[in-house]
A and B are shown apart, each in its own frame.
Chain A
């Protein structure tokens, strides 16, 4: 049996997490070695990925795991260990591993139980990688839950003052969502008559699905999946766990949360809900658009009202993920491409911004925007990083968000016409709140505690520089990511191929 590099990837990630957890004081070295190795395997995977082979997943490995028999005698449903990647999951895998490496480097000086801390960080990453590479519904769900628990402990153990509240809120919220999602997925498997949890050949099953599931079932299942994945995304009005979780989580936790965890929701929508339940999708598409526009506008305006830098960035994440949801909801090829690109871009940019927030807290002892000013004079490097992050996030060309946002708006224009003015208007508000924030933080006469301030320590500088370098690299050469995305079986679904996107 051929062993996929993805199996190696998961093995490295999980072994790394375990080894780091028990590594004691030397944990940071173990962590950086293993996360470096993860990145190395991902890069190897990238080289093995064939861009013009688009009919199926690549680097497949399928092993039968066990058979799930609902009733004795009834035909069993096969549960497999099935892994593989396509153009949609590959950028996410890359993003997750790179961001984890940066987060580990960023927390180089962590002294509060470093072993468990780095171990849990790596475990989150391992779970996320599992989510993105697994091609079996049960496996997917197992990894999905694997992500949740270490994140709960990261927030609850290493978080800020209200960490217990935030951790519980995060856990309950996302857990309710994942239960709903799980039930819906199971119902899809059972009622859809798949005969297997393995979804390697899923999109070929679509016609079968359409006949097997009645319209009412499809709408109900789609609604449940939209809720389940939407909480993760997060979309307004199920977003309130996000600011609290971000504000209380340690920097590395916030970085992983924003950069990677949010993407799982969008990934689930692209992978399951949208292609497999066409009737449900068509019925609920207006709802998706409404929620997407609401998230975009809500996120932008609320960012404007925030005083805490991390809260501001958290709400801007809601704004960006709203654009992702919008692009997914369009369900055109360009839309999906834009969504994945934007997820990738947002992952890098929000990592930068959350790291900057953490560093600001280290340097000034607060993240309160009005009480600090003139950062350019005292901490020029921090200020520069803040500026790059903000400018990238507001969609400046030559930084990674621009091609992504442009593609998203282009797709929106193609799909919705002049309604594109809604997100575009929100873009002005986005620019306004970032610039206002920078004006208050970076410029002007110095304010805030200037006695104990120090500029970025080396590890933080290294981590931030890595992320900023990627932001610039992928901003100037966006096709380095974009070229992978269409290499996905998703792009061969019959009703999806024209780019028009409406199934007959």
Chain B
């Protein structure tokens, strides 16, 4: 499963080989996940010692199948298989296909390994590898300067996060040093933890929250859930948590490090669907989710996570409202939804419950978001542009694409009974339950509710603009890829738009089907283990530990969220439905806001001006110092010596008497030195 790199020389067939490999990976992924559901303990293997440090520290490449990891395995491989299948037509006319598939398979391997990592080091290792694959795939159209630039930006920005992540791991290591044998770089310290109830398999609580901070009595390492005792390294832990958040923010494009994700849309749409919607960006959430064990000790960090997530969800949603590019709208939506998940993890960590709500949203989001991307890809494939303002009326030509995308949009906006409704509902109820306990809790709750409205608004804006109306607003050459590939297929260029072949439609339909039903999955008992801490809810009723309970607050919440989603839908219809294109009047007082949004709050410009140009200028200045000050000093020595030597040459008069004078002077100096200097200096040098 970890090696899908075969077949660089199989030409056209390479895509199908990749499909076969990925299908194999899916089967084994399912097998592993099912085994995990049935197993009493997480499967854990630490046999491969990667680096052995003197002093007892060991770094191990182990395998750990945790509930969260098993869930991620399912997501990765299902989406992966469908995307690889889809690529067979979508990418058919590009050059460098073996490279594409090799990178894609490398990504899938690394991603699978990432979620099976059993310690932070291994996590970082594969974390960077998926980052590399993301870099390579964003830059797949390497002849396009924008693509190369976006790839670089993605790598550098996530690198900032990675550095913070590494520092965070070190901090955790410091906070927990000596607790476990191999070191706290282990993700799941409690490998021998007892199963909560006979026959129900492992629970999150077992492997997670219930272990003692380092100062606790080692004879009783497990405490009851939620009774976290004082942490001697509180400041370190908090800082560590914040650094880890930095890493997750880099990968999952959260607030200050979000700028790379919209640009990453320069990559092929398939890549956007797989990496930048479903899997890699979710790795940041996954990181936070598995780290909640530690984050439970540091409410401050949890609060910051909550804040960053909540802010990002609204912040990104507003930018999605004005973007003319179909892929970027979905990208902003991804950032916004990831913000939701971040917020949920923060709330879980703060309330010391399992991160199941975030993982549930991650799970459903992966499917409907890759569905949206693939559907958008199918539109782009057929229409040949990414500009929403040029599209329109596509529902007639492409009914299946339109239908599946509608499913995706409904799921994203959280409309019953699509999967997004359930996950978003659980998420909102979590943030609502946090309002009373978290400082500014109500603010975060308000943010998340406002984002529901925004989500429905921007995604239906997209749908109406693309599929509503009567026809293309600005027909362009169909069937040519949106990117300027020099050997791009001219194609038969049929005048009529039509659906792509089943190779592309099948994944759409499958994903749409999953998006419809995925919300009910936690009802299956063995699946519910994969969402630790989740209380699955439906209109006020929620399922906690196998028992249905009713809470009126949850019912109100569901109704509010649903009505907000419909409100958003309605607003979108009012502005953009039926072929209307709302353009903001020039004298509108909101014009300034519109510009602000279109310039992405000027974040990119600010980063460019401050960070990029500033660092470049600094490096130029340092180069100048290097050349003229440091090297200048060296040359100064050189000139000094040459001047000194030419002066010294004049001493060589050739007059014997002068030489004799120097001789005598030297003699005198030596005599004085030996008589007075040595006795004075000798004690200094230890007796010589």
Contacts and interface: CB of A to CB of B under 8 A. Distances in A.
A and B touch in the complex (CB under 8 A): yes
Interface of A: 169, 172-173, 191, 212-214, 216-217, 236-237, 239-241, 298, 301-306, 332-334, 337, 374, 376-377, 391, 396-398, 402-403, 406-407, 409-410, 413, 417-418, 420-421, 424-425, 427-429, 431-432, 435-436, 438-439, 442-445, 478-479, 482-483, 486, 491, 498-499
B138 to A, nearest CB: 11
Given A216-B685, A424-B166, A427-B163, 11 more contacts: A172-B638, A214-B684, A301-B619, A304-B619, A305-B623, A391-B132, A407-B51, A420-B170, A427-B159, A432-B159, A444-B142
Contacts, number: 151
B145 A298 contact: no
29 contacts: A172-B638, A191-B686, A191-B688, A240-B630, A301-B619, A302-B623, A302-B626, A304-B619, A305-B616, A305-B620, A337-B54, A374-B143, A396-B129, A396-B132, A397-B124, A397-B128, A397-B129, A398-B125, A403-B50, A410-B170, A413-B170, A418-B167, A427-B163, A428-B160, A431-B156, A432-B159, A443-B148, A445-B145, A479-B52
Contact of B622 (A302, A397, A444, A479): A302
Interface in B23-75: 49-55, 57
Contacts of B638: 172
* Main SS at interface, chain B: helix
A445 B121 CA distance: 38
Contacts of B126: 397
Contacts of B166: 406, 409, 424
Contacts of A402: 125, 128
Given A420-B167, A436-B152, A443-B139, A216 B684 contact: yes
A374 B486 CA distance: 13
Nearest to A303: B619
A333 B128 contact: no
Contact of B686 (A212, A376, A486): A212
B155 interface: yes
A428 B125 contact: no
Contacts of A486: 54
A504 B51 CA distance: 29
Contacts of A417: 174
Interface in B129-185: 129, 132, 135, 139, 142-145, 147-149, 151-152, 155-156, 159-160, 163, 166-167, 170, 173-174
B683 to A, nearest CB: 9
A385 to B, nearest CB: 15
Contacts of A212: 686
Contacts of A216: 684-685
Interface residues on B, range: 35 or more
Given A397-B128, A425-B163, A444-B145, A304 B616 contact: yes
B156 A428 contact: yes
Nearest to A190: B688
A334 B619 contact: no
B667 interface: no
A396 B148 contact: no
A445 B125 CA distance: 33
B163 A424 contact: yes
B53 A337 contact: yes
A439 to B, nearest CB: 5
Given A191-B686, A420-B167, A444 B620 contact: no
Given A436-B152, A443-B145, A499 B163 contact: no
A438 to B, nearest CB: 8
Contact of A491 (B54, B57, B147, B630): B54
Given A403-B51, A499-B55, A213 B143 contact: no
B631 interface: yes
A379 to B, nearest CB: 13
Contacts of B51: 403, 407, 478-479, 482
A304 B623 CA distance: 9
Nearest to A440: B148
B634 interface: yes
A442 B143 CA distance: 9
Interface in B647-688: 684-686, 688
A407 B53 contact: yes
B506 interface: no
A424 B124 CA distance: 14
B13 interface: no
A431 B57 contact: no
B125 A302 contact: no
Contacts of A396: 128-129, 132
Q: Which of B49, B124, B163, B620 has the most CB of A within 10 A?
A: B163
B223 interface: no
A422 B469 CA distance: 56
